[in-house]
């Protein structure tokens, strides 16, 4: 009985959806008729377009967290945004907002999207398949028997021989492709896979892949072969040439330019025997997943422009580790991390490193963890004091420095040493206040006016041991210990540390990228965040007037507050009244 009621409800929804589609089509001047559906919850339609009649089917019972699935009969010729089997990619779903109470309107919207796409794709097919080749990799994925594979080499347009490995022991075999002289991926090592010959070539154009119900055959490879240049033919001979193991399995990878930018990459696995293509062996389409630093950086939002930049981070504690991780995630290519301390059990909940790195130097732990996480990054660990590092450091190799000690005396000494160096570098000093008061980031340049000592002045402009930016009144003990003096620490949480580290990372990046873009005028600046202060109040800590004033002060005004008076270390002029 329940099943009958469900089908009746589904039919009612489908009928209502058809009425909504019909209304929308009348508004657009599109003739529509209803077709038999393959399932009770789907709606079948015939839409008469300017190019042909389109049979279109839409799922009316799909949970409306996305647009409903729409498909047509498999096209007789490949079409952009239409899969081999006829599924229509009407939307990528990014930024999509749906009202689940307007189900029939959503169905009508999806149908019209599919109609427009089919019409435009047919036009594209008649004018050279530009859009189809922009979407070639998506079509390749749905070819019969297509296997997902991993490319660990850059798709740079330079034809060359590669090493291929196939794991045939998996339920669905998987291929891996690497440069001939590169270290193989861990999956290849773990499974002790034997190498196979592979060739990557770049062409200006490629023939169409098969359409339903056709399958990939040696005709595709022969067509590619006919378009090879003399240099590529030499590589081809090395690919298919005789070997001890005959017949053999080979792979051919082909890239072509995309009108929309970049290169499409597709591949096939095939057999060869005695130096020629083995027509009896199956030809298997391979869909490439690009495991390369450049692709993953661009796809993940990291900057390719930062790949050649180098920053030193001095201090790899709770704040410093966040700076390092944030810069790595942003796309920075090289980092030098300096800290003399080892990772300990006391750090676990305030640090990004896993407990397995306990007793390892913090810089070395970050190198081991982040180079695995962010492909292509190069981290130089220096397990020594920052003072020792500075004695031999060649500052000409760096594009910026971040100091995350949380030790004012050391930071001020570094500010004076770094000031007026021959190389003009942005330097960020960052520190965290106790408990939930807030965090700070001060940017100076090694040349010009503005330094950390500017911060250590009173309201009259005289030198002071207390920071002008401090949220906490001076001479208040804030350290705690759980095991005696040897275990003393300043109480703050991981969220506060991460917020401060991110603030400092953004600060140094804005200085570096601003100079690159010509938008930054090499001036000092001060950034901060203000916490609620509830935990500090519960501990009886007294805050400064700046703690309250900072809540309503813009960073530009705070910068003038810090750097607007004379300083004997950088000769900052007095701001005019």
Give pLDDT tens digits for 23-50. Answer: 999 999 999 999 998 888 899 999 998 8
Span between the terminal Cα atoms of the chain, in Å: 86
Last residue of a domain, one of 127, 147, 166: 127
Q: What are phi and psi of 163, to 5 degrees?
A: -105, 130
Domain CATH number, residue 104: 3.10.110
Q: Give the pLDDT of residue 3.
A: 41
Q: Give the pLDDT of residue 8.
A: 45
pLDDT band at 139 (very low <50, low <70, confident <90, very high): very high
> Could you give the angle at which helices 494-517 and 318-330 cross, rounded to 10 degrees?
40
pLDDT at residue 526 greater than cutoff 70 = yes
Q: Give the pLDDT of residue 571.
A: 67
Query: Does the residue 246 lie in any domain?
Result: yes
Q: Does one domain contain both 142 and 282? A: yes
Q: Give the pLDDT of residue 386.
A: 95
Instruction: Say how many C-beta atoms besides its own lie within 10 A of residue 79's C-beta.
Output: 25
Residue 335 to residue 412: CA distance in whole angstroms: 23
DSSP state, residue 461: S
Last residue of a domain, one of 127, 158, 189: 127
- Tokens of residue 344, six digits: 């300990």
Q: Does one domain contain both 39 and 145? A: no
pLDDT at residue 269 greater than cutoff 90 = yes
Run of H or E residues at 46: strand 42-48
pLDDT at residue 253 greater than cutoff 90 = yes
Long-range contacts, 259-265 (Cβ 8 Å, 24+): 259/130, 259/131, 259/133, 259/134, 260/134, 263/155, 263/157, 263/202, 264/133, 264/134, 264/136, 264/137, 265/137, 265/151, 265/155, 265/290
Q: Does one domain contain both 160 and 238? A: yes
pLDDT at residue 6 greater than cutoff 60 = no
Q: Which tens digits make up the pLDDT trace of 491-502?
A: 567 899 999 999
- Edge-to-edge strands, sheet with 426-432: 378-382, 334-338, 310-314, 400-403, 426-432, 438-445, 525-530
Residue 244 to residue 526: CA distance in whole angstroms: 68
Query: Does the residue 574 lie in any domain?
Result: no
Q: Does one domain contain both 278 and 309? A: no
236 or 3, greater pLDDT = 236
Q: Does one domain contain both 157 and 46? A: no
Residue 362 to residue 344: CA distance in whole angstroms: 9
- Tokens of residue 486, six digits: 């040897």
Query: Does the residue 255 lie in any domain?
Result: yes
Residue 86 contacts residue 114 (beta carbons within 8 Å)? no
DSSP string across 358-401: TTSBHHHHHHHHHHHHSTT-EEEEE-S-HHHHHHH--GGG-SEE
Q: Does one domain contain both 32 and 50? A: yes
Q: Does one domain contain both 208 and 240? A: yes
Query: Does the residue 572 lie in any domain?
Result: no
What b/e sequence results for 299-321 when a residue is b if at least 16 CB atoms lie within 10 Å of its CB, and e otherwise? eeebeeebbebbbbbbbbbbbbb
Q: Give the pLDDT of residue 204.
A: 95
Is the C-alpha dihedral spanning 283, 174, 372, 161 positive or negative? negative
pLDDT at residue 312 greater than cutoff 60 = yes
Alpha-carbon distance values, 376 to 155, 237, 371, 571 (Å): 15, 33, 7, 42
Residue 101: give the domain boundaries.
Answer: 2-127
Query: Does the residue 107 lie in any domain?
Result: yes
Q: Provide the percentage of residues in the chain whose pLDDT is more than 70.
A: 91
Q: Does one domain contain both 214 and 277? A: yes
Taking residues 345-351, report their average pLDDT: 84
Q: Give the pLDDT of residue 247.
A: 65
Q: Give the pLDDT of residue 407.
A: 86
pLDDT at residue 565 greater than cutoff 80 = no
pLDDT at residue 536 greater than cutoff 80 = yes
Q: Does one domain contain both 234 and 345? A: no
* Of 50-54, 136-140, 480-484, 528-532, the least confident: 480-484
Q: Does one domain contain both 339 and 441? A: yes
Q: Does one domain contain both 10 and 82? A: yes
Q: Provide the percentage of residues in the chain whose pLDDT is more than 90.
A: 65
Query: Does the residue 571 lie in any domain?
Result: no
Q: Which tens digits make up the pLDDT trace of 98-130?
A: 888 888 999 999 999 999 999 999 999 999 999
Residue 245 to residue 259: CA distance in whole angstroms: 41
pLDDT at residue 62 greater than cutoff 70 = no
Q: Which tens digits make up the pLDDT trace of 184-198?
A: 988 899 999 999 999
Alpha-carbon distance values, 161 to 4, 227, 238, 458, 497 (Å): 61, 17, 8, 68, 48
Say whether the peptide bond before residue 213 is cis (omega within 30 degrees of 0). Answer: yes
145 or 6, greater pLDDT = 145
Q: Taking all residues of the chain, what is their mean pLDDT, rounded to a whole number? A: 88
pLDDT at residue 11 greater than cutoff 70 = no
Residue 341 to residue 363: CA distance in whole angstroms: 9
pLDDT band at 346 (very low <50, low <70, confident <90, very high): confident
Number of structural domains the chain divides into: 3
Query: Does the residue 73 lie in any domain?
Result: yes
Taking residues 501-513, report their average pLDDT: 95
Residue 335 to residue 330: CA distance in whole angstroms: 12
Last residue of a domain, one of 291, 324, 351: 291
**For the whole prediction, is pTM greater than 0.85?**
no
Residue 245 to residue 272: CA distance in whole angstroms: 10
Query: Does the residue 493 lie in any domain?
Result: yes
Q: Does one domain contain both 269 and 309? A: no
């Amino acid at each position: 009985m329940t099943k009958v009621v469900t089908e009746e409800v589904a039919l009612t929804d489908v009928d209502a959806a058809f009425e909504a589609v019909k209304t929308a089509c009348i508004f657009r001047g599109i003739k529509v008729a209803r077709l038999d559906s393959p399932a009770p919850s789907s709606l079948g339609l015939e839409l008469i377009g300017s190019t042909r009649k389109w049979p279109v089917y839409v799922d009316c019972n799909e949970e409306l967290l996305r647009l409903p699935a729409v498909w047509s009969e498999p096209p007789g010729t490949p079409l952009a945004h239409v899969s081999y089997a006829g599924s229509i990619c009407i939307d990528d779903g990014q930024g999509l907002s749906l009202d689940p109470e307007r189900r029939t309107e959503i169905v009508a919207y999806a149908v019209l999207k599919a109609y427009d796409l089919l019409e435009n794709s047919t036009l594209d097919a008649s004018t050279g398949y530009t859009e189809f080749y922009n979407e070639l990799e998506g079509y390749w994925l749905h070819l019969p028997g297509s296997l997902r594979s991993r490319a660990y080499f850059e798709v740079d347009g330079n034809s060359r021989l590669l090493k291929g490995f196939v794991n045939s022991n998996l339920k669905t075999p998987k291929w891996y492709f690497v440069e001939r002289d590169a270290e193989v991926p861990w999956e290849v090592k773990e499974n002790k896979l034997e190498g196979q010959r592979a060739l990557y070539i770049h062409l200006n154009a490629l023939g169409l892949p098969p359409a339903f119900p056709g399958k990939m055959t040696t005709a595709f490879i022969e067509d590619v072969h006919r378009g090879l240049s003399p240099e590529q033919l030499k590589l081809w001979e090395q690919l298919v040439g005789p070997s001890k193991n005959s017949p053999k399995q080979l792979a051919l990878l082909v890239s072509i330019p995309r009108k929309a930018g970049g290169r499409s990459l597709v591949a096939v696995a095939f057999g060869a025997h005695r130096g020629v293509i083995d027509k009896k062996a199956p030809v298997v389409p391979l869909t490439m997943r690009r495991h390369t630093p450049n692709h993953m950086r661009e796809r993940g939002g990291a900057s390719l422009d930062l790949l050649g930049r180098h920053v030193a981070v001095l201090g790899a504690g709770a704040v410093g580790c966040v700076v390092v991780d944030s810069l790595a995630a942003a796309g920075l290519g090289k980092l030098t991390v300096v800290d003399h301390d080892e990772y300990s059990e006391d750090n676990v909940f305030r640090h990004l490193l896993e407990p397995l790195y306990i007793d390892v130097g913090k810089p070395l732990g970050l190198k081991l963890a982040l180079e695995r996480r962010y492909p292509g990054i190069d981290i130089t660990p220096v397990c020594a004091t920052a003072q020792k590092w500075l004695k031999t450091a060649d500052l000409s190799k760096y594009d910026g420095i971040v100091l995350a000690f949380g030790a004012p005396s050391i930071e001020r000494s570094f500010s004076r040493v770094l000031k007026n160096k021959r190389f003009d570098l942005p330097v960020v000093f960052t520190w965290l206040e106790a408990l939930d008061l807030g965090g700070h980031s001060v940017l100076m340049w090694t040349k010009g006016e503005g330094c950390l000592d500017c911060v250590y002045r009173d309201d009259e402009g005289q030198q002071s041991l207390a920071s002008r930016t401090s949220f906490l009144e001076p001479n208040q003990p804030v350290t705690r210990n759980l095991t005696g003096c040897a275990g003393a620490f300043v109480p703050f949480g991981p969220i506060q540390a991460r917020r401060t580290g991110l603030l400092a990372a953004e600060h140094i990046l804005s200085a570096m990228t601003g100079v690159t873009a010509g938008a930054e005028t090499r001036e000092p600046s001060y950034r901060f965040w203000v916490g609620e202060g509830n935990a500090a109040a519960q501990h009886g800590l007294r805050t400064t007037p700046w703690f309250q004033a900072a809540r309503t002060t813009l960073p530009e005004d705070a910068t003038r507050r810090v750097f607007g008076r004379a300083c004997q270390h950088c000769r900052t002029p007095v701001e005019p009244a």
